[in-house]
């Protein structure tokens, strides 16, 4: 019994020593890791995130400020006001072009002399001092700063919540003559802020000089809340609102969880950019690891006291190997994703840029050697044609890949179909190309870019199969509710047994001496059918090919013309 009691004491003492050791090592490691992560976030990660977000803001949000400044100092706009605002179509067209070219939701001008409110969508009711919705104008008229940033519903877009840049317009003598600027959709800006949050894994929001949260991502819910009422942050609100353009690093505690703030004042917006770290995923992970280690240590201590150290060493080694394997696997996946992005970028830029350079050089060379012998000019044409075919091949592969996506049509708008055909024909050099499109309607509804690709492919196909110098005809007329376009070449035509296959993917007629990918007419059919149209072909073998495209004059749900 005495020996048993002694063994119990020894085992108990060893167990206590092991437990104490495990506890000390585990907790000390946790504290050191937590402090290191905390210090790294405060001194490096959070300031770097703030700098990155600020750089992104300069690209995404500050640009409307610069656009509004250009509008306020535009001599046309000022002269138009000073000359009596006579032709309103001029200012309507100007505001619409500013909005469309810069991706804004609206653009506007309010004249001090007439109090008329012009927008890219037309004229709104004149501003009045007794109208609550017009108080912003009279506030801007009285302020000393050149502009303000304001969040209000936009009357021109059915009260869509909008970020307005209200810029004072001065005449050449420095007198106030109106207010102009652009507006960004609040939802779009919130999406931008949410993208920052997803990329940088931190909360990003904007605070005005009174501490009100003016802009935040959708994850933060309702804005127009004050940081002075937020637990933890309210204690450092005055330190945040210091009008310092140099980043300020602050900390607070909320329910025993440390939070960190990186803020800076952005004079162009008149707001503060706040990047907030509300705890860290790394802290959560090392806390979980701490509990796992303690549980394993207790189990190992109770089961095999004599082999505790060996078991722990083996486990630790295995854990490190597993962690390294996970990190290596994650790094490999990230590298694969990066390589895919680089490949797409390379196809889009690296392949096309040299070909464009070659094509430009060939055009310059053509002007220099225009009096050269015919065999030299013939070789030049062959090289030029080969370059154009390769550019078209790359473009077709990229277009075919784009057509796989469900949202391939980005923008349905009114398209001048005759002008589009004329420009497509003018971009190529062909001795005998006849373009007769006067019978087409003024416009149809469609995606301008995709229709341009389709017509370019039709013309390229006709040139590819016609002998050099042979006539190519492009005809257009209105047939009922459709715009009908015919492209007729002077090539050898298509065999009857091949007619049913010419619009299929990768089809090339058997025995054809003309090179190609077999994608051109397939892409034409895909694009035309996306627009609710039809494409067909007629041919007598040996007498050329006629391809007919029929596009509806109006789709079922056309996009209304803006303005």
Place of tokens 């200012």: 91
Contact 214, 223 (CB under 8 A): yes
Contact 483, 444 (CB under 8 A): yes
Rounded to whole angstroms, how far apart are CA atoms 560 and 563?
9
Strands 433-439 and 472-479: parallel
Report the candidate in 146, 88, 85 with the shortest Cα–Cα distance to residue 111.
85
Rounded to whole angstroms, how far apart are CA atoms 101 and 97?
6
Rounded to whole angstroms, how far apart are CA atoms 309 and 58?
56
Contact 109, 177 (CB under 8 A): no
Contact 85, 114 (CB under 8 A): yes
64-187, which class in CATH?
Answer: alpha beta
| pLDDT of the residue at 270 | 80
Rounded to whole angstroms, how far apart are CA atoms 290 and 283?
10
Rounded to whole angstroms, how far apart are CA atoms 514 and 492?
11
Rounded to whole angstroms, how far apart are CA atoms 458 and 524?
7
Supply the angle between the helices 88-102 and 63-72 in degrees, to the nearest 10. Answer: 160
- Positive or negative, the CA dihedral 99, 101, 104, 105 is positive
Report the candidate in 449, 478, 488 with the shortest Cα–Cα distance to residue 551.
478
Report the candidate in 192, 127, 190 with the shortest Cα–Cα distance to residue 162.
190
Supply the angle between the helices 417-426 and 448-465 in degrees, to the nearest 10. Answer: 40
Place of tokens 């000393």: 144
Q: Give every CB contact of residue 273 below 8 A, 6+ residues apart in sequence.
A: 50, 53, 54, 57, 204, 206, 263, 264, 266
Rounded to whole angstroms, how far apart are CA atoms 455 and 463?
12
- Rg of the chain over all Cα atoms, to the nearest angstrom: 35
Residues of the chain with pLDDT under 70: 1-12, 30, 34-38, 58-61, 156-157, 159, 218-224, 254-258, 279-286, 290, 301-316, 336-372, 374-382, 384-410, 509-517, 555-563
| pLDDT of the residue at 256 | 62
pTM (2 decimals)?
A: 0.40
Rounded to whole angstroms, how far apart are CA atoms 477 and 178?
48
Please state the domain extents for the chain: 64-187, 409-552
- Positive or negative, the CA dihedral 378, 384, 387, 389 is negative
DSSP string, 333-391: HHHHHHHHHHHHHIIIIITHHHHHHHHHHHHHHHHHTTTS-HHHHHHHHHHHHHHHHHH
How far, in whole angstroms, is CA 548 from its chain's centroid? 36
* Percent of the chain surpassing pLDDT 90: 22
| pLDDT of the residue at 120 | 92
Domain 409-552 maps to which CATH number in 3.30.497.10, 3.30.565.10, 3.40.50.720, 2.30.40.10? Answer: 3.30.565.10
| pLDDT of the residue at 49 | 78
| pLDDT of the residue at 453 | 86
Contact 102, 63 (CB under 8 A): yes
Report the candidate in 198, 125, 116, 195 with the shortest Cα–Cα distance to residue 156.
125
Distances (CA, A) of 536 to 38, 388, 502, 548: 68, 26, 10, 5
Reported for 158-163, long-range contacts at CB under 8 A and 24+ positions apart, including other chains, are 160/105, 160/185, 160/186, 160/187, 161/185, 161/186, 161/187, 162/105, 162/106, 162/186, 163/64, 163/189, 163/215
> What's the residue count for the chain?
563
| pLDDT of the residue at 501 | 84
| pLDDT of the residue at 364 | 65
Locate all alpha helices (DSSP H) within 122-166, ordered by sequence. Answer: 135-142
Q: Tokens for 440, please give them.
A: 């087409």
Cross-strand pairs, 183: 106, 164
Distances (CA, A) of 356 to 170, 348, 384, 386, 438: 45, 12, 11, 12, 32
* Reduced 3-state DSSP string for 364-379: HHHHHCCCCCHHHHHH
| pLDDT of the residue at 391 | 58
Contact 395, 403 (CB under 8 A): no
| pLDDT of the residue at 108 | 95
| pLDDT of the residue at 230 | 79
| pLDDT of the residue at 226 | 85
Report the candidate in 289, 281, 63, 69 with the shortest Cα–Cα distance to residue 184.
63
């Amino acid at each position: 019994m005495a020996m048993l009691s002694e063994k119990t004491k020894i085992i108990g003492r060893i167990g206590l020593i092991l437990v104490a050791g495990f506890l000390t090592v585990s907790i000390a490691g946790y504290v050191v890791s937590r402090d290191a992560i905390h210090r790294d976030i405060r001194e490096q990660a959070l300031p770097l995130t703030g700098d990155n977000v600020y750089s992104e803001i300069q690209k995404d949000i500050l640009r409307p400020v610069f656009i509004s400044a250009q509008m306020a100092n535009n001599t046309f706009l000022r002269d138009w006001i000073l000359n009596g605002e006579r032709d309103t179509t001029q200012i309507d067209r100007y505001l619409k072009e500013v909005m469309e070219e810069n991706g804004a939701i609206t653009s506007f001008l309010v004249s001090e002399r007439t109090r008329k409110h012009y927008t890219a969508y037309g004229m709104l009711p004149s501003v009045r001092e007794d109208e609550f919705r017009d108080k912003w104008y009279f506030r801007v008229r009285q302020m000393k700063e050149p502009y303000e940033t304001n969040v209000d519903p936009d009357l021109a877009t059915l009260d869509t919540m909008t970020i307005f840049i209200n810029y004072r317009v001065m005449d050449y003598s420095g007198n106030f003559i109106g207010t102009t600027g652009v507006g960004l959709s609040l939802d779009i800006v919130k999406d931008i802020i949410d993208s920052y949050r997803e990329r940088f894994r931190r909360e990003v929001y904007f605070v005005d000089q009174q501490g009100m949260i003016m802009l935040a991502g959708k994850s933060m819910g309702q804005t127009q809340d004050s940081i002075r009422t937020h637990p933890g942050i309210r204690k450092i609100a005055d330190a945040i609102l210091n009008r310092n353009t140099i980043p300020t690093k602050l900390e607070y505690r909320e329910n025993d969880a440390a939070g960190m703030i990186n803020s800076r004042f952005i004079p162009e917006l008149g707001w503060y950019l706040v990047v907030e770290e509300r705890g860290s995923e790394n802290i959560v992970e090392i806390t979980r690891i701490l509990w796992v280690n303690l549980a394993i240590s207790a189990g190992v201590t109770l089961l095999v006291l004599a082999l505790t150290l060996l078991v722990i060493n083996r486990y630790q080694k295995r854990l490190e190997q597993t962690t390294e394997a996970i990190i290596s696997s994650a790094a490999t996946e990230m590298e694969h994703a990066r390589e895919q992005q680089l490949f797409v970028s390379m196809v889009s830029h690296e392949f096309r840029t040299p070909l464009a350079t070659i094509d430009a050089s060939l055009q310059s060379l053509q002007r220099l050697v225009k009096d050269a012998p015919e065999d030299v000019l013939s070789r030049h044409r062959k090289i030029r044609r080969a370059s154009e075919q390769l550019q078209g091949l790359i473009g077709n592969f990229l277009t075919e890949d784009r057509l796989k996506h469900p949202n391939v049509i980005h923008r349905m708008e009114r398209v001048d179909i005759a002008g589009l055909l004329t420009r497509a024909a003018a971009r190529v050099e062909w001795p005998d190309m006849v373009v007769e499109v006067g019978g087409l309607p003024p416009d149809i509804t469609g995606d301008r870019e995709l229709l341009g690709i389709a017509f370019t492919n039709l013309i390229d196909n006709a040139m590819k199969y016609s002998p050099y110098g042979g006539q190519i005809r492009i005809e257009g007329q209105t047939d009922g509710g459709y715009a009908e376009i015919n492209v007729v070449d002077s090539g050898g035509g298509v065999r009857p047994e091949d007619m049913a296959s010419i619009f299929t993917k990768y089809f090339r007629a058997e025995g054809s001496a003309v090179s190609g990918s077999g994608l051109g007419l397939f892409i034409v059919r895909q694009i035309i059918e996306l627009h609710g149209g039809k494409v067909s072909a007629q041919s007598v073998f040996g007498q050329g090919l006629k391809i007919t495209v029929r596009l509806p004059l109006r789709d079922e749900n056309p996009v209304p013309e803006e303005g």
